[in-house]
Amino acid sequence: MANLNVKKGMLIDVQPLKSKQEINELIEALGMSQNGLRDQLLFKIGVSTGLRCGDLVALKVEQVKGKSSFKIREGKTKKERTVYLNNLMADIADYIETLPVDAIYLFASRKGGSHITTTQAYRIIAKAGDMIGNDSIGTHTMRKTFGYTYYRATKDVATLMEIFNHSSQKTTLRYIGITEESIENSIKSISFF
Active site members: 52, 76, 140, 143, 166, 175
Distance CA 90, CA 149 (A): 22
172 φ/ψ angles, rounded to the nearest 5 degrees? -65, -45
End-to-end C-alpha distance for the chain, whole angstroms: 43
Give dist(CA 157, CA 109) in Å, integer. 36
Cβ count near 26 (within 10 Å):
24
